[in-house]
Structure formats: structure tokens, C-alpha cells
Amino acid sequence: MDALYGIQSGMSKKVSMKVTAKKSEFGCGKEVLPKDCLVVLEAAFKYFQAMICKMQGPGAITGDCLTKNEWLLVLYYLEAVIMLKLVQRPGVVTHMTVEDWEGRSRIENGVCVAVKEHKVPLSHEQELWFDLYFNEVRPVMLQENRTGDDVAADSFFVSSSGRSIYDPSNDLKRLHDKYSLPSVTCGDAQRAFEAAAQNLSEVKRNVVVAERNYMRRTSSDPFLALSVLDQLAGEKNQPSESKINRWMDKQGWTSNVPQAAVVLKQWKPVARLHLVIVSSFVHKMILSQRWKGLTVRPVPDKSNGVFYKRPFQIGEVVCEYHGQLFSHGNYFDKWHQSWPFVFFYKNKQHEAMCIDTHEESCQCHPMKFNYGPLIRHSSKRANFRPRLYVLNDRDIILFIATKDIMSDELFYDYGSKRRYFAGKGLELDWM
């Protein structure tokens, strides 16, 4: 038995040495940083966002209208979010069930999905992504299952063949290969974030370590860990003074040009779209209704339009559709058939609501101009879209740029077509 134990011990050491050598050769000895883990998400985000925009809002399409490559992009991106962004193990992807998703708990910052011992925190924006996958993409993938595998019907993540995901790490590698990027594994991400957390306070360091320990903590801890992970991932993206100077030179500014050193001192990592409502600047704009970079000008043979005075980048908040809030029923009881300057939507509880902007200014901001109602309709030239947020228990409709806006006028798709309203829409010139 001793001899057998000696042989077994020696073989295990050889195997460990081989595995270590392969990992070292694969990584070329380069240290993986938190920002390296998110490079593939950055590369795929623009295309992923395009898929999400297709499946929601005015003129939304169903999942069966997407191509197979588009299904896979949505699937791979969400898997990468779990393993690289949230630093969860591949087992979370394979073991997450429909019951886990439908039983997710709601918290102020988002939702928490319990997958066995794991707790997976998702922001409101990420919840929207996963819900669109669940309702639009996943059913189409399940239809591809010709084997009658009942297990796949219970799995949240399914492959393009309609079966349960076998190895999420392979999907992660495929996503890196698609954008010709060096592959970063879930283990690389765990080690990178833990190493970067060593210089943080004990509380923040412990919640990051808890990510690796199956998140066996209360449901509020994952959100603290999520904010710390965002902090660690953004710390290495600070620009240099020369880069700031080059960017300011391109703007063509001739007066009130800030110093690069001042800009660098106040620099903060750029927040993703799902964190935009957390921005103190956006809060300030919502409360003051003093939106920057917009102006109103008459359009020949049309009404007034809203024009930009500076470029807007994709994902940037443009303005708010601000007005008096009504439930759908209460509005029609009061105004009957008066529809101009009304924005209809469904709130987080799926109740039909509307925002009335008959007046040029609202009661809460009597001296402020309301840009939202004056933005003209175009389904082909739309360069931003509405997005529902909740701030201080109040519904907020923010307009988010869906592309880099360099054109002269702002447009969004009202979601109405000429063929609507029993044919009466054919007489509406603004459509």
C-alpha cells in the first residue's frame, strides 16, 4: 500500500506540473488584470446591445426573427457576464434552472438569483437582458431539440441545439475567438480580482473573496461585491494627460478649455448603461431638468425639432420625457381622445401608464423647457430610444443614445405606424 501511495503521489505531482506548465505557456507568463477579463465584453457589447434593442421597445421583433449567430451572441455574452463580470464559476451556468430564475428575489439595487449555494446579483439592466433571453431566445433554441431531452426544459441556459449547456468554458473561448482576443478563463478572472482586492479595505476584500466561496452570504452582500468588482475593473482605465489633451484638441474648443491635470484629478471610470441612473450627474439633470447640448429649431414644412449642439456617444443619456404621470384609465377618463404629447408605457409592475406633456413646462419645473415632446418621429433615422428607470419611487423615461449621434437632428421611433388606428393613421403626415 505504501508503494502504491508513493506511485500515486508521484503521478499527481507530475500531472500538476504539466497542468501548471500548460497554463504558463498559454498565458505566456503575463499577469491577467481585472480589465483584461472584461475586454471581450467590451468588444461584443455594441453588437449585443443591438440584439437587445431589436427585441424590446417600439417595433420590437421576436426571438425567432434573429439568426442563429445572433442567438449565440446573446447566449455567449450572458455566460461571459456571469463568469467574467460577476466572477461566478461555470457551474452556475450549467446548474441555473428556470425555477431559480422565476424565483429571483427583488432588492433595491436589482435582483438576486439563488443557484444552489451561489447568489448571483444582477442590476435592473442585466435583469432585462436575461429576461429577454429567457422569453425570446431560449424558446427558439428549445425548438431545435430533436432528442426529447426533458432536462433541457428545466435548464435556464440551453445550447443552439436545444440541449443543456455542457461546458460553459468552451462557450467563453468561442466568444474570445470570435473577436480574435486572448482567451481569459473563469479561473483567471477569479485570481485577477482577488489579487487586485488585496489593497482594499478588509470589508471590500472579504466580499470579493466571497465571490469565490460560492457567495454563501446574505443577498445584500453580492451587490456590495458587484460594486467592488466594478471598481477594480475600472481602476486601470485611467487616461493619460496627453490623451486628454489630444481629445480636447479634436473638439476645436477656443475658450473655457480645462487643464488636462484638472480633468484627470476628477476622472472616474465610465459606467455601463445599466449604471447610468446611479450617476450623480444624471440625478442632477433629472432633478433640475437642465439638459445640456440641446436646442430647438423650426424644421421647414414641419413643426419644431430638437437638435444637438454637441456629439452624444452611444449609451449616453440625452434627456428625459418629463411630465405629469397618469395611469392609462385615469388619463382617458380626464382627457378622453386627446392624445398629442403623451408617452404611453408599462411600469415595472406591468401596469399601463402614460406621461402627459400638453404644457410646455411642468408644475414641478415651471421655468424649465421640456425637450422630450418636441423630438420628432423616425423609425429609420432614430438615433436614441426611451428607457424606463425608477428614481425615488418615481418612473423616469430617459432617452439613451443607441449610436454615436453626429447627425444634426434627434429622432426616436414612436412605435406607431400609418397602418395603425384602423387605417386612420394614413392621414397622419408626421408618420
Q: What is the pLDDT of residues 292-335, one digit of tens each?
A: 888 888 888 777 888 888 888 777 888 888 888 888 777 666 65
* pLDDT tens column, 281-298: 777 888 888 888 888 888
DSSP string, 137-202: IHHHHHTT--S--HHHHHBSSB-TTSSB-S-HHHHHHHHHHHTT-----HHHHHHHHHHHGGGS-H
pTM above 0.85, yes or no: no
Minimal CA–CA distance to 89: which of 174, 216, 224? 216
Q: Note every long-range contact of 224-231, with CB atoms under 8 Å and residues 24 or more positions apart, other chains counting.
A: 225/121, 226/86, 226/121, 226/123, 228/197, 228/200, 228/204, 229/34, 229/85, 229/86, 229/87, 229/193, 230/269, 230/275, 231/269
Q: Tell me, what amino acid is at 299?
A: V
What ranges do the domains of the chain cover? Answer: 25-235, 275-427
DSSP string, 111-152: EEEEETTEEEEEEHHHHHHHHHIIIIIHHHHHTT--S--HHH
> From CA 188, how far away is CA 36, in angstroms rounded?
10
Q: Cell 421611433 maps to which residue?
A: 413
Asked whether 345 and 351 are in contact (CB, 8 A), the reply is no
Q: Residue 427 — φ and ψ, nearest 5°?
A: -90, 0
Architecture category of domain 275-427 in CATH: Beta Complex (2.170)
Minimal CA–CA distance to 71: which of 136, 151, 147, 143? 136
Sign (positive or negative) of CA dihedral 99, 105, 110, 113: negative
Residue 64 predicted with pLDDT over 90: no
pLDDT band at 417 (very low <50, low <70, confident <90, very high): low
Asked whether 171 and 181 are in contact (CB, 8 A), the reply is no
The arithmetic mean of pLDDT across residues 250-271, rounded, is 74
Most confident region among 49-58, 65-74, 396-405 by mean pLDDT: 65-74
- Residue with the bigger pLDDT between 253 and 315: it is 253
Whole-angstrom CA distances from 400 to 34, 78, 181 are: 27, 22, 29
Cα atoms found within 13 Å of the Cα of residue 44, Cβ hemisphere only? 29
- Residue with the bigger pLDDT between 390 and 171: it is 171
- Residue with the bigger pLDDT between 243 and 215: it is 243
Spatial neighbors of 231 by CB under 8 A, at least 6 apart, are 269
Query: What's residue 410's pLDDT?
Result: 87
Query: What's residue 100's pLDDT?
Result: 92
Most confident region among 7-11, 84-88, 93-97, 210-214 by mean pLDDT: 93-97
Query: What's residue 423's pLDDT?
Result: 42
* pLDDT tens column, 117-148: 788 888 888 888 999 899 888 988 888 877 66
Q: Residue 292 — φ and ψ, nearest 5°?
A: -95, 150
Spatial neighbors of 428 by CB under 8 A, at least 6 apart, are 418
Q: Residue 140 — φ and ψ, nearest 5°?
A: -70, -40
Residue 212 predicted with pLDDT over 70: no
Residue 212 gets the label, from left (phi > 0), alpha (psi -120 to 50) or beta, of alpha
